Amino acid sequence: MAKQRVLSGIQPTGNLHLGNYLGAIRNWVATQEQYDNYFCVVDLHAITVPYEPGALAANTYEVAALYLACGIDLAYSTIFVQSHIPAHTELAWLLNCITPLNWLERMIQFKEKAVKQGENVSVGLLDYPVLMAADILLYDADLVPVGEDQKQHVELTRDIVLRINDQFGKKGKPVLKLPEPLIRREGARVMSLTDGTKKMSKSDPSELSRISLLDPPEAIAKKIKRCKTDPERGLEFDNPDRPECHNLLTLYMLLADKTQVAVAAECQDMGWGQFKPLLTETAIAALEPLQAKYRELRADPDYLESILREGRDKAAASAESVLARVKNALGFSKAL
């Protein structure tokens, strides 16, 4: 039986952090052998908020290299850059024309980001989930592994599919495949180091709020030393009055690859003075091998480019065939 298809992506906006790693990439790596995977660097999404044009290409390569450094294996997975395949923007336009405006206006992430942009909200920021739907649908993806914050966007994608199949599909012959989100409980929502009630995010103005995958050991030590804690002794999961405690124990659990039961027992009598050095040492040890691999990959730009070229060619074949299927269903004349 053919393997199920997986598609996911990350925006090249600044350094990837532990939320991106634990909520997304680590899970992609863990299950990649079971699936036929497509992982893209979604650079067209990165321009929906103000950005630095001089840094876009370098950030795009950085994310692609991080995919490989974190363990994405080309034997099971295809890596490519979204903007290298024009079908993404073309399908997004077609989907735009069947997506009701109010579906987009109620997206939580749009509302949050729009507040931050003030007067300066682009049409692209509102339309961002439709482009994301195009990313997923061009590959006939069965599963979309993401962190909790992207769930609503995958649900919107499902609504778009149902609408298109209903309006343009023939009986028993849907136009588009209905994808499912794949969200693992642990790591689905990594919180900020400076406020355990806020998600760890690339756009938080404070560097101290997140650990980036390429942070050197001194930076990791400094951020954990300064991170927010509480005055209580004894550490525990799942106490709603202690969000920082839950978050830091979860980070330790995932980075040390231990079970929740084991970590709860190990840390129940610890104070922060004992736990923080343990978490620091664990985070540094977990990130060190991927940082070394990343440096190796960045030293050989030709190799990285060849991977992205191959990825583009393979991804384009799928994308173009799905796009043709959609255009045909929507009634367009054949391209001559």
- Applying CB under 6 A, which residues contact ligand TYM? 7-11, 19-20, 23-24, 42, 45, 132, 135-136, 144, 146-147, 149-150, 153, 188-190, 199-200
Min CB(40)–ligand TYM separation in Å: 7
Contacts with 78 (C-beta within 8 Å, 6 or more apart), sequence order: 37, 38, 39, 310, 311, 314, 315
- From the list 113, 222, 258, 293, the catalytic residue is 113
Pick the closer one to ligand TYM by CB: 132 or 283. Answer: 132
- In a 10 Å sphere around its CB, with 0-12 CB exposed, 13-18 middle and 19+ buried, how is residue 302 labelled? exposed
Min CB(42)–ligand TYM separation in Å: 4
- From the list 111, 116, 170, 199, the catalytic residue is 199
Min CB(146)–ligand TYM separation in Å: 3
Min CB(215)–ligand TYM separation in Å: 16
285 three-class SS: helix
Min CB(16)–ligand TYM separation in Å: 8
Which residue is closest to ligand TYM by CB? 23
C-beta pairs of 149-155 under 8 Å, 24+ apart in sequence: 149/109, 149/189, 149/199, 150/181, 151/181, 151/183, 152/107, 152/108, 152/109, 153/107, 153/109, 153/129, 154/179, 154/180, 154/181, 155/181
Pick the closer one to ligand TYM by CB: 146 or 326. Answer: 146
C-alpha to C-alpha distance for 228 and 24, rounded to whole angstroms: 24
Pick the closer one to ligand TYM by CB: 151 or 258. Answer: 151
Min CB(103)–ligand TYM separation in Å: 16
C-alpha to C-alpha distance for 258 and 252, rounded to whole angstroms: 8
C-alpha to C-alpha distance for 97 and 221, rounded to whole angstroms: 50
Examine the residue annotation and report whether 199 is marked as an active-site residue of this protein: yes
- From the list 151, 177, 202, 327, the catalytic residue is 202
C-alpha to C-alpha distance for 66 and 9, rounded to whole angstroms: 12
Min CB(234)–ligand TYM separation in Å: 26
The CB density around residue 312, as the number of other CB atoms within 10 Å, is 18
Pick the closer one to ligand TYM by CB: 6 or 245. Answer: 6
- Report the sign of the C-alpha dihedral through residues 308, 313, 318, 323, in that order: positive
C-beta pairs of 289-296 under 8 Å, 24+ apart in sequence: 290/66, 290/69, 290/70, 290/71, 290/213, 291/69, 291/213, 291/214, 293/68, 293/69, 294/65, 294/66, 294/69, 294/213, 294/214
Pick the closer one to ligand TYM by CB: 181 or 284. Answer: 181
**Residues that are catalytic:** 113, 199, 202
